[in-house]
């Protein structure tokens, strides 16, 4: 008989407003200690992309951006600020779809998202109108996750996974949900091909986006507005830990039937 399994998501309280240059590992570990929690081997720390971007200084004032001719023309069609569109183009490999008010791109790290992941919400700059400030995604979210994980191991000797997530929409369903943009110390994808189901049928095509499944659950606890809980401790991840890479989750363009 199979034993019961438990996957627990716990918000880590006390994470302050993050500033450029902050050491996220130090901040997270202090918040864990102050709340009376503790880390265990196999835990996964799930971080909202915004705090990683803020710590890495990815905050940009639109008034400092000079839009290109292409950005100006596209901005008129999209009904967006030309400076914002210029940043979207810089952060993208290509435009996948567009209509007034919306542009879907392939980000330069390979994933498909709206506005290249550039965000206004919960963003405040050191000067000027808040609406002049935007936040870009981290340059390399896998490297960011690996650095945080390494810093945590140095201080605690605990082997944990680190997941960096962002809110993405989906082509065929309404509503955004948490999706993985970077990870370290855990698998992104679980390949079940060759395994037998309960009727001894060998699976032929099944792969599971386990990192995205975890990201969606953690995002539910983070919230999307003013909750102020950008770090979640996930305990009970039911699969074997290994080093993974977010690129595992990306379908190659030549195998994408919808592009």
| Predicted confidence (pLDDT) per residue in 94-113, tens digit | 999 999 999 999 999 999 99
| Predicted confidence (pLDDT) per residue in 30-49, tens digit | 999 999 999 999 999 999 99
Which is more confident, 90 or 195? 90
Quote the pTM value. Answer: 0.91
DSSP string, 81-128: -HHHHHHHHHTEEEEEEEETTEEEEEETTS-EEEGGG-B-TT---SSS
Do residues 35 and 12 make contact, with C-beta atoms less than 8 angstroms apart?
yes
> Which helix H or strand E contains 46, and what residues bound it?
strand 44-48
Close Cβ partners of 251 (under 8 Å, ≥ 6 residues apart):
none
Do residues 135 and 58 make contact, with C-beta atoms less than 8 angstroms apart?
yes
Sheet holding 102-107, edge to edge: 92-99, 102-107, 112-114
Confidence of residue 119 (pLDDT cuts 50, 70, 90): confident
Do residues 169 and 222 make contact, with C-beta atoms less than 8 angstroms apart?
no
Cβ neighbourhood burial of 214 (10 Å; 0-12, 13-18, 19+): buried
CA distances from 43 to 8, 11, 71, 90, 238 (A): 10, 13, 44, 36, 11
Range in 10-19, 111-120, 128-137 with the lowest mean pLDDT: 128-137
Range in 9-18, 52-61, 192-201 with the lowest mean pLDDT: 192-201
- SS3 of 9, please? strand
Number of Cβ within 10 Å of residue 202's Cβ equals 10
% of the chain at pLDDT higher than 90: 77
Instruction: Give the separation between CA 46 and CA 48, rounded to whole angstroms.
Output: 7
Confidence of residue 161 (pLDDT cuts 50, 70, 90): very high
* Angle at CA of residue 69, ends 63 and 71, nearest 5°: 60
What's the confidence (pLDDT) of residue 126?
60
What's the confidence (pLDDT) of residue 207?
79
- SS3 of 161, please? strand
What's the confidence (pLDDT) of residue 2?
74
Confidence of residue 206 (pLDDT cuts 50, 70, 90): low
What's the confidence (pLDDT) of residue 34?
96
Domains along the sequence of the chain with CATH: 8-57+138-250 (3.30.1330.100), 59-135 (3.90.1660.10)
Instruction: Give the separation between CA 165 and CA 215, rounded to whole angstroms.
Output: 6
Name residue 182's beta-bridge partners.
164
Across the range 204-214, mean pLDDT stands at 83
């Amino acid at each position: 008989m199979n034993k019961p399994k438990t996957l627990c998501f716990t918000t880590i309280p006390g994470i302050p407003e993050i500033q450029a240059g902050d050491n996220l590992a130090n901040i997270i570990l202090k918040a864990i200690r102050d709340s009376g929690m503790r880390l265990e081997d196999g835990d996964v720390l799930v971080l909202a992309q915004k705090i990683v971007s803020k710590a890495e200084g990815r905050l940009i004032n639109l008034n400092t951006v000079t839009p290109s001719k292409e950005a100006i023309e596209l901005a008129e069609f999209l009904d967006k600020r030309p400076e914002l569109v210029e940043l979207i183009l810089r952060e993208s490999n290509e435009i996948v779809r567009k209509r007034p008010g919306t542009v879907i791109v392939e980000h330069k790290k390979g994933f498909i998202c709206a506005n290249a992941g550039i965000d206004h919400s919960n963003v405040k700059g050191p000067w000027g109108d808040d609406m002049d400030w935007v936040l870009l995604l981290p340059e390399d979210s896998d490297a960011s996750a690996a650095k945080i994980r390494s810093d945590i191991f140095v201080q605690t000797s605990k082997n944990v996974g680190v997941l960096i997530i962002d809110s993405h929409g989906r082509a065929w369903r309404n509503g955004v949900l948490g999706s993985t943009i970077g990870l370290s110390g855990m698998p992104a994808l679980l390949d079940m091909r060759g395994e037998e189901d309960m009727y001894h049928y060998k699976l032929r095509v099944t792969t599971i986006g386990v990192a995205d499944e975890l990201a969606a659950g953690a995002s539910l606890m983070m919230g999307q507005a003013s909750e102020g809980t950008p770090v979640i401790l996930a305990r009970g991840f039911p699969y074997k830990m290994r080093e993974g890479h977010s690129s595992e989750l990306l379908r190659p363009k030549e195998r994408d039937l919808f592009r």
